[in-house]
Amino acid sequence: MHLTDTEFWHDLMHGIVGPRQGGARIIIDSEDASTGVGKTGLSVYLALLLCRAFGYQIDQDDLTLSGAAYLDRWREHPGAEQPSVIILDELGGAGAGQARRAMSGQNVDLSNAWQLMRKKRIVTIVTLPHWSKADKSLRKQADYRLWCLREPIGYFRPYKVGATFNDGNIQTRGYDDVDRIRFPNMDENGSPVYNYLDEQKDELLESGYFDADKLEGEEQDDETDNTLTDNDKEHIKHMAESTGATQTEIADVYDIDRSTVSKIKNEAL
């Protein structure tokens, strides 16, 4: 059975384009926390299907390993008029949303962003080895858990995430129409979205940090120091605060990364 013919897909789309007109929070993990089972590929495949379904053009700014970059992009995304998609890959391993960071400001910000999902119809797709690696508040707010099978590779089982009636404990419920759902190998398909995320992971591994937020911060510092004058920074602040231009649009004007615009804007606060 194709993914778009399943109860999971119809449930997901009903929440986005049905009467609720909302977004969705999807966590993708794997059996026995296995690697190499296609979690990133599934995230890309699902994102592309969703973008096709509701007419959203995904770009590189929608693909990140950094929790900080995710939050910046979340703020830029369209409002209730347009559903959209963001992939936050390697939620635990790259430093964002980890259970061990449960009291961190970033986890609070991620949780708040998810609570405000109805203000912006964003479908957030996150991947991590096992969903216990995510902070509990994020797991409680998730709508779906997609569990990639160790064997055969290229299949997953969907679960609806909810809470018990009396004490609010997290519970998951499977779907009865299908035991497992197949998805393609996006690496072999040469998907540019997949390739971009793969390049980000290679860069993170080479950095030695294993923390995408730290790596992005270093890149911001280098880029800001080397390419922008003080007048440039003042103009970027003005554009960000007064013109209504998005950070991506400003970044295109100066041929810099969107995260650099975010840093300069925040320095003005």
- The distance of Cα 182 from the centroid of its chain, to the nearest Å, equals 22
Has residue 121 got a pLDDT over 80? yes
Helix, strand, coil percentages in the chain from 3-state DSSP, rounded to 5: 50, 15, 35
Residue for token pair 């998907």: 191
Q: From the centroid of its chain, how far is CA 221?
A: 24
> What pLDDT, on the 0 to 100 scale, is given for residue 124?
95
Are β-strands 144-148 and 181-182 bridged in parallel, bridged antiparallel, or unpaired?
Answer: unpaired
In the beta sheet, which residues pair with residue 259? none
* DSSP assignment letter at 100: G
Q: Is the pLDDT of residue 166 over 70?
A: yes
Residue 258 identity: R
Per-residue pLDDT, 214? 58
The pLDDT of residue 102 is: 44
CB atoms within 10 A of CB 104: 15
In this prediction the pTM is 0.78
Top mean pLDDT of 42-56, 68-82, 119-133, 199-213 is at 42-56
Q: What is the pLDDT of residue 122?
A: 93
d(CA 193, CA 196): 5
Which amino acid would we find at residue 121? R
74: buried, middle or exposed (CB in 10 Å: 19+, 13-18, 0-12)?
Answer: buried
Mean per-residue pLDDT, 201-213 = 70
Residue 31 CA to residue 148 CA, distance in Å, equals 6
Residue of higher predicted confidence among 21 and 94? 21
| Selection from 55, 72, 30 nearest residue 262 by Cα | 72
153/110 Cα distance (integer angstroms): 31
pLDDT range class, residue 266, cuts 50, 70, 90: low
CATH class entry, domain 3-209: alpha beta
pLDDT confidence bin for 212, thresholds 50/70/90: low
pLDDT at 269 (0 to 100): 42
pLDDT in tens, 57-81: 999 889 998 888 888 888 888 888 8
pLDDT of res. 97: 46
Instruction: Please confirm whether the linkage preceding 78 is cis (ω < 30° from 0).
Output: no
Alpha-carbon distance of 145 to 8, in angstroms, equals 11
**What average pLDDT does this structure show over 214-225?**
52
